[in-house]
């Protein structure tokens, strides 16, 4: 598909960047709300999303990826750090000052059943933001605009006067996308947008999101635990573990030559839909530790097969490039450098 | 039913009563589970895969559900004809089941050890002490660290992965011949999912039990089963050994499912100037079970549809000398 709106991504400007963004949640207990623990949900994260590109954000539940997405839209207030949108730090802005920016930043949620108001018609859901931001001059222009948006996301304009419960999960997600697009945003946080959908419907929504990007030049932060989908949609990706980015880079480079042992473990844990190739399973031991009391040094060291005693359990590694100028960064004292990420035994070994 | 067949489901029909209609959630399903085999049952939400497994154990909530007809032969007996009291001896003892969400399947007010002990003593005449020893031994078998101490933990004190291990320990404590695992890892993270699936495969081999693995994830099916049943709108539309199914699907729905999985590395060469590969999709959506079309249920979404498909419903028919089957008039052309 031709992409008139997208310029060359690698030379295009940064749209939104975070600088040491941090959010701790206090875990209060007892009748007096005594604070007894702090959850380090997002801990000094610096990432950037360029115009028209998709940044994939992967990690396991509780790693802070959804909180990071909400922080970037200021749906959650940061404790520390900057969020630079189109050259301006938006953290000091008041809610009123934020309003014009809200138009440019949108979010699509995981659960299309919970994120649409059941008492509103599709017309109201999609039209609400058009009215708030005064994007239509009258009733007929508003209706025309809603019909256009529904058509764009692959729905019939006649669906306008129906309610969310009359639609399937996939169609509801299309309504959610139409709502996000109503204000002509530049940046959309997609928080697990297809996880609640069936396999055959997932592909439809992924294609739709990609078509819209090609057509409108919108940038996505694509949050997902499904590494297959992220590899398919993301130009660049970031891997998160216990509130920190442990590796980031261009998708092909990161998938082919993951440097961080955690990224490798994630890649190898994904079941492969090809029974003729039996994988060499290297399973990660143990559970994800609690973000309330993360291990000292590198937070991954208790589960890491390459941990160096005396080093990884003492000093925290910082995110840095291995090859200068590659943009592929890793936070690890003992990274994989050369070997490919996923080795497979290519012999035919049918299961018993 | 051959000698080595453990479970044989024949013409199973299970209905659900809705406000003004009756829906056939499972509509004439037949399949066998051989002893020691791992069978995958795949399909999308609402296709009837979970209702099939609940019907086998007669756990369908009645009302609104009802097993209308068919038979479930297990060890020479039809489970659908057993008195409820005898059925209780089958459940948990000969056939066990684990579910998607371990938190809701465990009782929050008892320690996990006590719950396993209860499961054992329900089916075996053993002392509390012996049952406790057995419980600790099971927790060790499924890889729960410090099993004696962990047996005194309450479910909320354990992580999701550990709770699912406890469920597996409980399900296997009476050495069932068949384990039904309904989306056992869907609520878990990928690294934990890999641990649990590897554990299930190992236990299946070591204990020689059969597993009926219900999932929507074709990757899990490819790695952990030997034979696959594909369900669509209440019917089995394809049945084949796992290698054959992935190498050459013989139903357009199976083919559509396989093609909609992203395979970014293999697609690399196919990427155009924009660096994009479009995923293949199955257009449309699953039909409403209360308003099914007269012919094939997949006809409206099928790229190979012809007139005949809209007039009568294709039966599951044998292919390749009986090693596989497909419910499609054009199975050979898929």
**What would the pLDDT profile of A61-104 be if each residue is shown by its tens digit?**
888 999 999 999 999 999 999 999 999 999 999 999 998 899 99
Q: Give the distance from residue A22's alpha carbon to the nearest chain B alpha carbon, in angstroms.
A: 24
What is the structure's pLDDT at A218? Answer: 96
Strand partners, B241: B227
CB contact B83 to A (< 8 Å): no
CA distances from A68 to A8, A232, A329, B222 (A): 27, 22, 19, 34
ipTM value, please give it: 0.81
Split at pLDDT 50, 70, 90, the class of B37 is very high
How many interface pairs between A and B have CB atoms less than 8 angstroms apart?
Answer: 140
Model pLDDT for residues B230-270, shown as the tens digit of each residue: 999 999 999 999 999 999 999 999 999 999 988 776 655 55
Burial class (CB in 10 A: 0-12, 13-18, 19+), B3: exposed
CB contact under 8 A, A3 and B274: yes
Find the mean pLDDT for residues B172-180.
92
Residue A301 φ/ψ, nearest 5 degrees: -60, -30
B128: closest CA of chain A, how far (Å)? 31
Q: Provide the 10 A C-beta neighbour count for residue A257.
A: 18
Q: pLDDT tier at B314 (50, 70, 90 boundaries)?
A: very high
Closest-approach residue (CA) in chain A for B277: A232
Instruction: Say whether residue B29 is in contact with chain A using an 8 A CB cutoff.
Output: no
Phi-psi map region of B247: left, alpha, beta (phi>0 left; psi -120 to 50 alpha): alpha
B residues 42-71 near A, CB within 8 Å?
Answer: 44-45
Query: Between B191, B223, B262, which is nearest A232 by CB?
Result: B262
Tell whether B280 lies on the interface with A, counting CB pairs under 8 A.
Answer: yes
Neighbours of A66 (CB within 10 A): 21
pLDDT in the model for residue A199: 81
Using one digit for the tens of pLDDT, what is the confidence trace for B99-143? 887 677 889 999 999 999 999 998 889 999 999 999 999 998 888
Residue B198 touches partner A, C-beta closer than 8 Å? yes
Query: At which residue do the structure tokens 């992967």 appear?
Result: A58
| Interface residue of A54, A281, A287 to substitute, partner B, most B CBs within 10 Å | A287
**Whose CA is closest to A335, among A269, A252, A246?**
A246
- Give yes or no for residue A348 having a pLDDT over 80: no
Token code pair at residue A11 = 């030379």
As a whole number of angstroms, the distance between CA A104 and CA A108 comes to 13
Given CB atoms, is B303 within the 8 Å cutoff of chain A?
A: no
Average of per-residue pLDDT across B55-59: 94
Say yes or no: A275 contacts chain B, CB-CB below 8 A. Answer: yes
Chain B residues with beta carbon closer than 8 angstroms to that of A200: 44, 256-257, 260, 281-282
The percent of residues above 70 in pLDDT, for chain A, comes to 89
* Contact criterion met (CB < 8 Å) for B193 and A269: yes
A56: tokens are: 């994939």
Smallest CA-to-CA distance from A40 within A72, A57, A64 is with A64
Using only C-alpha atoms, chain A has a radius of gyration, in whole angstroms, of: 22
Lowest mean pLDDT among A71-75, B31-35, B147-151: B147-151
Length of chain B: 334
Confidence of residue B330 (pLDDT cuts 50, 70, 90): very high
List of residues 6+ apart from A32 with CB closer than 8 A: none
The CB density around residue A252, as the number of other CB atoms within 10 Å, is 16
Q: Indicate the pairing of strand A278-279 with strand A344-345.
A: antiparallel
Rounded Cα distance between A285 and A76, Å, is 33
Distance from CA of B127 to the nearest CA of A (A): 33
Q: Give the C-alpha separation, A189 to A54, whole Å.
A: 10
- Please, which pLDDT band fits residue A177 given cuts at 50, 70 and 90? very high
**Closest listed residue to residue A261, CA positions, set A247, A251, A250:** A247
Give yes or no for residue B317 having a pLDDT over 90: yes
A274 contacts chain B (CB < 8 A): yes
Q: How many CA atoms lie within 13 A of A92 on its CB side?
A: 2
Residue B2: the pLDDT is 47
Q: What are the backbone angles phi and psi of residue A227, rounded to the nearest 5°?
A: -70, -25
Rounded Cα gap, residues A108 and A94, in angstroms? 23
Average pLDDT, chain A: 86
* Contact (CB, 8 A) for A228 and B264: yes
With a pLDDT cut of 90, the percent of chain A lying above it is 56
């Amino acid at each position: 598909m031709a992409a008139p709106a997208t310029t060359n991504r690698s030379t295009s400007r940064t749209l939104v960047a975070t600088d040491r963004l941090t959010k701790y949640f206090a875990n209060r207990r007892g009748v007096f709300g005594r604070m007894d623990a702090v959850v380090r949900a997002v801990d000094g994260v610096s990432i950037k999303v360029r115009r028209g590109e998709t940044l994939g954000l992967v990690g396991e539940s509780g790693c802070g990826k959804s909180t990071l997405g909400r922080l970037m839209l200021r749906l959650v207030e940061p404790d520390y750090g900057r969020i630079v949108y189109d050259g301006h730090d938006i953290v000091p802005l008041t809610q009123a000052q934020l309003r014009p920016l809200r138009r440019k930043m949108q979010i699509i949620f995981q659960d299309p059943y919970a994120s649409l108001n059941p008492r509103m018609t599709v017309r109201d859901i999609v039209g609400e933001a058009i009215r708030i931001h005064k994007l239509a001059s009258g009733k007929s222009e508003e209706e025309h605009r809603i019909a256009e948006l529904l058509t764009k996301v692959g729905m019939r304009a006649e669906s306008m006067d129906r309610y969310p419960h009359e639609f399937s999960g996939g169609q509801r997600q299309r309504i959610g996308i139409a709502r996000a697009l109503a204000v002509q945003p530049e940046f959309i946080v997609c928080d697990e947008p297809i996880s609640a959908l069936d396999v055959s419907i997932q592909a439809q929504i992924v294609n739709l999101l990609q078509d819209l990007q090609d057509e409108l030049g919108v940038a996505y932060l694509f949050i997902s635990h499904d590494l297959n989908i992220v590899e398919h949609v993301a130009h660049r990706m970031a891997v998160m573990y216990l509130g920190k980015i442990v590796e980031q880079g261009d998708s092909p480079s990161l998938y082919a030559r993951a440097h961080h042992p955690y990224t490798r473990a994630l890649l190898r844990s994904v079941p492969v839909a090809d029974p003729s190739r039996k994988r060499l399973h290297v399973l990660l031991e143990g559970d994800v530790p609690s973000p309330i009391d993360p291990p000292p040094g590198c937070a991954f060291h208790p589960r890491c097969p390459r941990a160096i005693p005396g080093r990884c359990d003492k000093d925290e590694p910082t995110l840095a490039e291995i090859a200068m100028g590659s943009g592929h960064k890793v936070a690890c004292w003992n990274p994989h450098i050369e070997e490919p990420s996923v080795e497979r035994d290519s012999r035919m070994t049918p299961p018993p | 039913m051959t000698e080595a067949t453990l479970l044989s489901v024949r013409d199973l029909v299970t209905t659900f009563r809705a406000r003004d209609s009756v829906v056939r959630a499972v509509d004439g399903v037949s399949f066998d589970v051989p002893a020691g085999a791992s069978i995958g049952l795949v399909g999308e939400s609402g296709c009837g895969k979970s209702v099939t497994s609940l019907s086998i154990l007669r756990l369908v909530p009645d009302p609104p559900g009802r097993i209308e007809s068919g038979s479930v032969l297990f060890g020479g007996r039809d489970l659908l004809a057993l008195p409820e009291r005898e059925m209780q001896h089958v459940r948990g003892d000969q056939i066990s089941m684990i579910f998607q969400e371990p938190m809701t399947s465990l009782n929050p007010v008892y320690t996990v050890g006590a719950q396993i002990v209860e499961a054992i003593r329900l089916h075996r005449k053993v002392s509390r002490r012996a049952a406790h020893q057995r419980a600790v031994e099971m927790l060790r078998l499924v890889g729960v660290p410090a099993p004696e101490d962990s047996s005194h933990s309450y479910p909320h004190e354990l992580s999701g992965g550990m709770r699912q291990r406890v469920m597996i320990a409980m399900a296997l404590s009476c050495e069932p011949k068949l384990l039904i695992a309904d989306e056992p890892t869907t609520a878990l993270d990928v690294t934990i999912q890999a641990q649990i699936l590897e554990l299930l495969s190992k236990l299946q081999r070591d204990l020689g039990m059969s597993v009926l693995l219900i999932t929507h994830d074709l990757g899990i099916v490819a790695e952990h089963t030997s034979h696959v049943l594909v369900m669509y709108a209440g019917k089995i539309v394809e049945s084949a050994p796992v290698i054959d199914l992935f190498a050459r699907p013989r139903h357009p729905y199976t083919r559509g499912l396989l093609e909609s999985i992203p395979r970014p590395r293999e697609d690399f060469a196919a990427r155009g100037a924009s660096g994009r590969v479009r995923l293949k999709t199955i257009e449309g959506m699953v039909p409403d079970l209360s308003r099914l079309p007269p012919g094939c249920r997949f006809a409206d979404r099928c790229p190979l549809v012809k007139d005949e498909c809209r007039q009568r419903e294709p039966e599951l028919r044998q292919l390749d000398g009986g090693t596989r089957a497909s419910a499609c008039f054009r199975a050979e052309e898929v």
